[in-house]
Structure 1
């Protein structure tokens, strides 16, 4: 699709959306980040017109990836990358991780994940509304750490 951004531009597009709300990462609240992720999630990229080529993943839980337990919200965009013959080669994921210090209310949420795929027939606004409901306890909070990165999977 010539009018769509290239997958290689996705991390930059997410950074731009986040900076549009608050230029300094230390000032981003969960609400700021969520609104930016929704704008980013609505942007279409040049992917194959298949139901699993462009997906959004919302997940959270308490994990000790950095050595100490932190409640982590991971907002992810996953793209299917095809080879020159049009066959699946690998996926690229663009992550925005929000980490919060341990709090009993957050730990009580347990873990959760939900996928949305463009071109699969589901309603994006309904999915966003349902996921925002899962963030209700955090919307006014500022994460202790925020990490933006891209990785092949």
Structure 2
């Protein structure tokens, strides 16, 4: 896969996952599994992993990035193009909820995949306080956004 093909590839993988029965909301666990499968697909035009050219970021927190405070959990894959002046690209899946006292109390946190196995990274990401809450809650997210941007 080339970096420029990454969003299409991820969207194809997401299209193949089950939705929560009786709703249009995709299961967070299913998205995490699809993202783990997507992370295993190498990008031929990015810098080597040992140069941090391809990595996964899991994060959570309450932010006002879309104009109002929202709690979010996010998985992003960061690609750095080969070469001395390689551009940095991030492909992200972000779930949003209205904030509550419980989600605000979680604070924020993040975890990078560098220097860890994919299995350990995704296990540890699911244990981050915000991700643990999101995977265990019965509150439906407001939305799931998939974005692909130059960082």
Secondary structure at the residue paired with 1:44? coil
Equivalent residues in 2 for 1:4-153, closer than 5 Å: 5-22=1-18, 26-46=24-44, 47-51=46-50, 52-82=52-82, 86-117=83-114, 121-134=115-128, 135-140=131-136, 141=138, 142-153=140-151
State the TM-score, normalized to the length of structure 1: 0.83
Aligned positions, number: 143
- Unaligned residue ranges in structure 1 (runs of 5+): none
Alpha-carbon shift at residue 23 of structure 1 (Å): 6.8
Unmatched runs of 5 consecutive residues or more in structure 2: none
Deviates more, 1:47-56 or 1:143-152: 47-56
Q: In structure 2, the residue corresponding to 1:128 is in which secondary structure?
A: helix
Of the two structures, which has the highest relative contact order with CA contacts closer than 8 Å and spacing of 6 or more?
1
Contact persistence 2:49–2:55 (CA under 8 A):
no
Taking the aligned partners of 2:2 and 2:74, their CA distance within structure 1 comes to 22
Higher strand share: 1
Deviations 1:69-127 (A, max 9, x none): 11011210010113xxx32321011111110111222111100011113xxx4211111
Contact 1:80 1:88 in 2 (8 A): no
Q: Aligned to 1:11, what secondary structure does the other structure show?
A: helix
